[in-house]
Structure 1
């Protein structure tokens, strides 16, 4: 949807939703990928699957491609995590990876209600492992320290666009 398109990724609790909300508040076109593009499916084929698992949390590739191809906006931010980002990452002008230190991550996880992703013990253990290994986030993204207040995090993203 933008003449320039950016992906904002990171493990759970690094601030993707908050960044998206702040970008929208400032008048930018920002898409909540986890709400608007996500479904449970096979990361390789896109075939829908049953049950909610982290490994099958993917985005509709055709929808991402259609949104990127539409140039009605000067810039669009796609915010959220997707296990099939390799299928569309090359479409973006840039990728930002939100990152926090372990203490901040644990504090944010402590604040999560049990009915939200990361609120259950098993989910939390997975998030902590992914934070340590960085195994399912883009490797060549621009790292953004998202421990700062959200306004400063978004200022830094906009500065680097």
Structure 2
């Protein structure tokens, strides 16, 4: 759905969902991949799996590759933002004109996780420990992404992303 497609990535608690909603509020085409494209699957084969919960669910959090490819190929919108993270990113990262990585410090991450209810990802202690580990190691952050300071107020974060998109393609 975009002549240009961008991925908004970052660890849990960095603000991907909030950025998605703000982009939509401003009239941009933004897809919440974690809610609209995700399923639980085998990261090697892509085959759906069932009864995966807790920390294991994170390792099986995939996006439907065919749907991502179809959305990226549709040229109706000038720009489309895909917001979220998946364990099968390597299967479709080539579709994006750029990747923005939302960055927060440990204190901000802790404050955001403390505000999550237990029934939301990151609300349980084991999930939180995994999130903190991944934040520290950055092992699931795509290399070469454009860092965005996501500790700033949400409107500033989105302004920064949009400014960079415009600089890359000033049409």
TM-score category by the smaller chain?
over 0.9
Q: TM-score, normalised by structure 2?
A: 0.93
Structure 2 residue aligned with 1:6: 6
Q: Per-residue displacement from partner, 1:40-97 (whole Å, max 9, x unpaired)? A: 0012211001213101001000000000010000000000011110110011000001
Aligned to 1:91: 95
Residue 140 of structure 1 is matched in structure 2 by: 144
Q: Does 1:76 align with 2:80?
A: yes
2:29 maps to which residue? 29
Paired positions, count: 161
> Which 4+ stretches in 1 moved above 6 angstroms?
none
Tell me the residue number matched to 2:169.
Answer: none
Name structure 1 gaps, 5 residues minimum. Answer: none
Give the distance between the partners of 1:87 and 1:31, measured in 2 at CA.
18
Q: Which residue of 1 aligns with 2:155?
A: 151
If the length of structure 1 is used for normalisation, what is the TM-score? 0.99
